[in-house]
Structure 1
Amino acid sequence: MKKKLEILSKVKASKVISPEINFEDYIAIDFSESNIDLQNHSLENAVDYEIYIQKHLDKNNAKIAFGGYNEVRNLYKRSTVFKNNETEERNVHIGLDLWINKQATIHAALDGEIHSFQNNTSLGDYGPTLILKHEVDGFVFHTLYGHLSEESLEKKMGKKITSGEKIGTLGLPPINGDYAPHLHFQIIIDMENKMGDYPGVSSKINLEYYNQNCPNPELLLKIREKFNNFENL
């Protein structure tokens, strides 16, 4: 695993959302249950989150808010996708979110091919989802792009994709799972024979496995290296 992570860390990745926006216009955001500020806001639906995110962007003179890997979140409680009577609650986010209140363009992180795609339509799910397959130095892995527009799924399986190529646009609520507009970006090593879908939220009991199979997307995106404001990551 260490060797695989080293391969990922050396890859020169492209921006995956609105590449014309500079990294200095990004700002970290915290949606964890430990963020006391969230308790002062009524966040019950997509509109509430859009307002909260826009205020955060405006306050920091930013255009994209990002973060969320390994955050324990309360925002999944509204959906039965993340809990039923037979399983432990899933509330630990294992991707990285990039929040922007517009229908931004989405781009491939690096060269690859279309692995699969699917519209995951349940409340709180990904909505339209695209998964790419990559191989670097013999290491095969995947990147998942969730909460896209329906038009983003007009694809052909196996189609070759180049780094930075536009692969879709961001979806809007309710099509995107009924969230404020954002991209869920995730690295997945073993797809476990799944097509067009893979868990983006883990239970605490299964987190060790998912952290191994879905390493921190920052290994590819490298946003952390671009500026110094990372208090909320």
Structure 2
Amino acid sequence: MQETALKHPLNLEGVVIGKVVDFDPDSEQLHPFNFTADNTALVPEVLADTAVFSDWITTELTKANARYGIGGYDEHRTIYARSAHFDRDEEPRRLHLGIDIWGPAGTKVYNFHDAVVHSFKFNDHFGDYGATIILKYEINGQVFHALYGHLSLNSLSGLQVGQKVAKGAAFATFGIPEENGYWPPHLHFQLIFNLYTAKGDYPGVCQFSQKSSYLLNSPDPSVILKHTFKGALI
């Protein structure tokens, strides 16, 4: 997730961006996760059982002395073979379009800038987002969205479309597997320019053959997350 020489499509010049989760860059570190075919530890027996997969994540974080794991943008992931949700007859979906922050269920999620609720939904299928919130932002005259997936069901309680969410508000929490699409607890964080007709949902994983168009519409979220993780995000 290194900064590229290319100009990021989001113009955040002069804007103070807030945190997405609690993190102290002076005392904490991040653990980078790799979910490509290179990670031979993630055998099918691990991925098929959410409890076993969750234990694997927790063990890796404990060994690294890290509260959070991170990674995934533009990553070709083999782990999606665990769910038919990502299968297509012509080509399965395997390319990840957001960044995942892996950590304990109940972890607070904060809004990084003033926004309004665009939509929300409980995407209740094995491998799906589970509880999902999409916030709409307008910064420096540019409108875009952030999708927050794999949340707790309680995060959806009392929400209304158009509701204002202030910068710094703790508006959601990481969900348990039964609420988050049956994944180890984590946050899927994705930026999206055009949602088209989508509400409470938008692909977080695409077919590799459609990589270019999807990445143009979902730019690298590290431009936001670097303000949370400081020098720990590399």
2: distance between equivalents of 1:40 and 1:78?
A: 8
**Alignment counterpart, residue 111 of structure 1, candidates 101, 109, 114:** 114
Once the 2 structures are TM-superposed, how far is the Cα of residue 122 of structure 1 from its aligned partner? 1.1
Residue matched to 2:208? 204
Q: Deviations over 1:46-81 (max 9, x none)?
A: 212222111211111110111111111122112222
Residue matched to 1:57? 61
Q: Where does structure 1 lack aligned partners over 5 or more consecutive residues? A: none
Cα pair 1:72 1:91 within 8 Å, conserved: yes
Secondary structure at the counterpart of residue 226 of structure 1: helix
Once the 2 structures are TM-superposed, how far is the Cα of residue 102 of structure 1 from its aligned partner? 2.7
Q: Cα gap change, 1:225/1:109 in structure 2, threshold over 3 Å: closer, same or farther? A: closer
Q: Cα gap change, 1:228/1:56 in structure 2, threshold over 3 Å: closer, same or farther? A: same
2: distance between equivalents of 1:106 and 1:78?
A: 27
Cα pair 2:24 2:229 within 8 Å, conserved: no
2: distance between equivalents of 1:28 and 1:69?
A: 12
1: distance between equivalents of 2:102 and 2:8?
A: 28
Residue matched to 1:135? 138
Indicate the larger mover: 220-229 or 113-122: 220-229
Residue matched to 1:102? 105
Q: Deviations over 1:24-47 (max 9, x none)?
A: 332221112222343598332221
User: For residue 24 of structure 2, what is the amino acid of its counterpart?
Assistant: N
Cα pair 1:45 1:179 within 8 Å, conserved: no
2: distance between equivalents of 1:5 and 1:193?
A: 22
Q: Deviations over 1:185-217 (max 9, x none)?
A: 000000112100000001101110111000010
Tell whether 2:172 aligns with 1:190: no
Residue matched to 2:3? none
Once the 2 structures are TM-superposed, how far is the Cα of residue 11 of structure 1 from its aligned partner? 4.1
Map residues 27-66 of structure 1 onto 2, 5 A cutoff.
27-39=31-43, 42-66=46-70
2: distance between equivalents of 1:150 and 1:65?
A: 22
Once the 2 structures are TM-superposed, how far is the Cα of residue 156 of structure 1 from its aligned partner? 1.1
Cα pair 1:50 1:101 within 8 Å, conserved: no
**Alignment counterpart, residue 22 of structure 1, candidates 21, 24, 38:** 24
Aligned residues: 226
Q: Cα gap change, 1:11/1:47 in structure 2, threshold over 3 Å: closer, same or farther? A: farther
Cα pair 1:97 1:184 within 8 Å, conserved: yes
2: distance between equivalents of 1:222 and 1:157?
A: 28
TM-score using structure 2 length:
0.88
Indicate the larger mover: 97-106 or 40-49: 40-49
Residue matched to 1:144? 147
Cα pair 1:30 1:67 within 8 Å, conserved: yes
User: For residue 82 of structure 1, what is the amino acid of its counterpart?
Assistant: F
User: For residue 231 of structure 2, what is the amino acid of its counterpart?
Assistant: F
2: distance between equivalents of 1:126 and 1:163?
A: 24
User: For residue 176 of structure 2, what is the amino acid of its counterpart?
Assistant: L
Q: Where does structure 2 lack aligned partners over 5 or more consecutive residues? A: 1-5
Once the 2 structures are TM-superposed, how far is the Cα of residue 223 of structure 1 from its aligned partner? 6.0
Identical positions, percent: 37
